[in-house]
Amino acid sequence: MAEVAIVDTSVLCNVLDIPKLNDERESVMEELTMLLQQGTHLLLPMAVVYETGNHIAHITDGRYRRWFAKLFVGEVQKAIAGEAPWTVLQVPTLEEVAEWLTHFPESAMHGAGMGDLSIIQEWEKSRRLFPNRRVFIWSLDTHLQGYDSHP
């Protein structure tokens, strides 16, 4: 069965080649190619969409900012339309956010903000939805790399 990868902001920023957030682009693109060849399902949490958009909004050069903003919009629109290698996950429900908030104080004590917590919670949800598949967070951030379940 195909594996499921929850794509993190660190990966998407490298794929989009965002300046100062693209140091590992070559290895990310190689891994992306490998994952696609293996038929891995790539899921893009809304937190990643928000965080990536925020990074783009902080690009200092206005011309680059606009260019990357348009590139980003196009890629996310393709994902929503099913024309990209990843699928954008649904906006979380209020019940899901309320549940995440119960975990936030502990998460904050480990240095993980709400964005990371929501990605971890999407990983947990995906594990329940796909119990017979490997589900992992594809991230360059070491604190997210350990989230990997094998059936």
Residue whose pair of structure tokens reads 């017979």 in the numeric block: 132
Contact 119, 3 (CB under 8 A): no
What CA–CA distance (Å, rounded) separates 126 from 6?
A: 9
Crossing angle for the helix pair 114-129 and 46-57, nearest 10 degrees?
150
Q: For 38, which DSSP code? A: T
pLDDT along the chain (151 residues), means of 10: 96 97 98 97 96 97 96 96 93 91 92 92 95 97 92 84
C-alpha angle 96-100-105 in degrees, rounded to nearest 5: 165
pLDDT at position 111, please? 85
pLDDT at position 110, please? 87
pLDDT at position 79, please? 94
What CA–CA distance (Å, rounded) separates 8 from 115?
A: 10
pLDDT at position 1, please? 83
